[in-house]
Amino acid sequence: MLSPRFMLLRPAASLPSRAFSARPALQQGQAPDMTEGNKELLVSNVRNRLREIVGASTNWKDHKQAMAERASLSSLLAQSQDELPVKIVQDSYTEVHLPLGSQPSLREKYLNYHNSVRFGRILEDLDSLAVLICYSHTRNEELNMSPLSIVTALVDKIDMRKNIIYPDGDIKFTGNVTWVGKTSIEAKMHMSQYHNGAYSPVLDATFVMVARDPENKRAAFVNPLKPETPKEQQDFLQGEINKKRRVELSTGSLLKVAPTAEERTVIHRLFLNTLDPKTVSFRSRVLPPNTVWMEDAKMKGLEICHPQERNIFNRIFGGFLMRKAYELGWANACAFGGCRPSLVAVDDIVFRKPVEIGSLLLLSSQVCYTQERFIQVRVHTEVLDPLTRQHDTTNVFHFTFNVDKEVPAVMPQSYGESMLYLDGKRHFDETMRDHV
């Protein structure tokens, strides 16, 4: 669901594919095209439109009735993808503006104590934009409400192009659908900021969304996509490559198969480095110089999931989960490195199951791999049912940070920690390959 901090510049269906253009800025940090007509399309209008699309209630007390009414939309679902009209990329192209420069009243929610923008808020905005893009792709002019429930499946990648996001410069988000499966949609988004008289890129993001039935119980078909230009065809092909890579990563997960021979050698070498040379015993372990036990590189948190953080389907907003996980991971990296970390990349955020209102959300952050000035952090979230005391994993997050000085190495002690170490190394190596 689109956050109230957004302002939609124009209806998605009428947006041109050409670059954003408008009048010169009125003042430092204020972007062009801030006309009164555009200011009228504030986020409240977008939120209302999204609520109308899914038939969501604005009041928490009415949510059960609203969801019951949505169940009747199941008859509107397509029985196969062939029944749905083919869409083009332009159908989903969306441009959204966050006027931090021209509307200073918005800055308070985005400002951190370093006088830059809180990246956790940006994660919330990206998640909202991805939902809007996908609803634009699946839009049916003949229906007042969409029978689809579009939810975030995973964040494939977020690559930072800039370390600093200024709190007094207007921000522009653009995005569109780049690849479509039968029930899943890949949306690519770009964020830029107006600074020194021009927009410059800040980040690129790839989200994978899935379509479900009105009650969010089973998969639903989405419109096929027809790429037209060479760039669109290239993006579609990359979407196929991304899907194949995700399948390979899943089948090769350390939760399913043993480490490779090279990885086993790495773990054995780490183990030998922790043996006490005085006792020559497998049971006596010592910490090598400039290292930290993984057990001492953790940070935990707890959130009570209130209705305020619900999405249009009356579950906890995925962007909220990402923000909380990022802030805990950042804090852990900051404490571990002893200085302010900068985000390099976010990758492979998997949404395993929805988080219900009223849940106790447990977050656990672990520095699982370091190299020179880089810190790889894994954040695991799970819900606790206070009545049954049952724990269920909901999300796993991976963040790569960079700091201004070399950091200690983390040292696993148990086999489980060794698997976390190797998993962190895999994610770090993949991130570094993309940044070469």
pLDDT digits (tens, 9 = 90+) for 305-325: 898 888 777 788 888 999 999
Q: Within 10 Å of residue 141's Cβ, how many Cβ atoms?
A: 5
Give just the sign of the alpha carbon dihedral 250, 123, 390, 56. negative
* Residue 50 pLDDT level (bands cut at 50, 70, 90): low
Task: Report residue 333 CA to chain centroid gap.
Answer: 19
156-167 pLDDT, tens digit each: 999 999 988 999
Give the residue-averaged pLDDT of 124-144. 90
Closest CA to 150 of 190, 183, 125, 180: 183
Residue 3 buriedness (CB in 10 A; 0-12 / 13-18 / 19+)? buried
Angle at 114 between CA 291 and CA 29, to 5 degrees: 135
Q: What is the pLDDT of residue 10?
A: 36
Q: Longest Cα pair distance anywhere in the chain, in angstroms?
A: 79
Identity of residue 199: Y
- Of 318, 401, 402, nearest to 365 by C-alpha is 401
Highest mean pLDDT, choosing among 139-143, 351-355, 403-407: 403-407
* Two domains, one topology: 7-250 and 257-434: yes
Mean pLDDT calculated for residue range 8-15: 38
Q: Which CATH number fits domain 257-434: 3.40.630.30, 3.10.20.30, 1.20.1640.10, 3.10.129.10?
A: 3.10.129.10
pLDDT at 40 over 90: no
Q: What is the mean pLDDT of residues 86-93?
A: 96
Helices (H), ranges, 159-201: none
pTM for this model (two decimals): 0.85
- CATH class held by domain 7-250: alpha beta
Q: Tell me, what amino acid is at 216?
A: N
What's the angle, vertex CA 219, arms to CA 214 and CA 222, rounded to 5? 85
Tokens at 37, concatenated: 């007509």
pLDDT given at position 311: 77
d(CA 197, CA 29): 8
pLDDT digits (tens, 9 = 90+) for 136-177: 999 998 888 889 999 999 999 999 999 889 999 998 999 999
Write down the domain spans for the chain. 7-250, 257-434
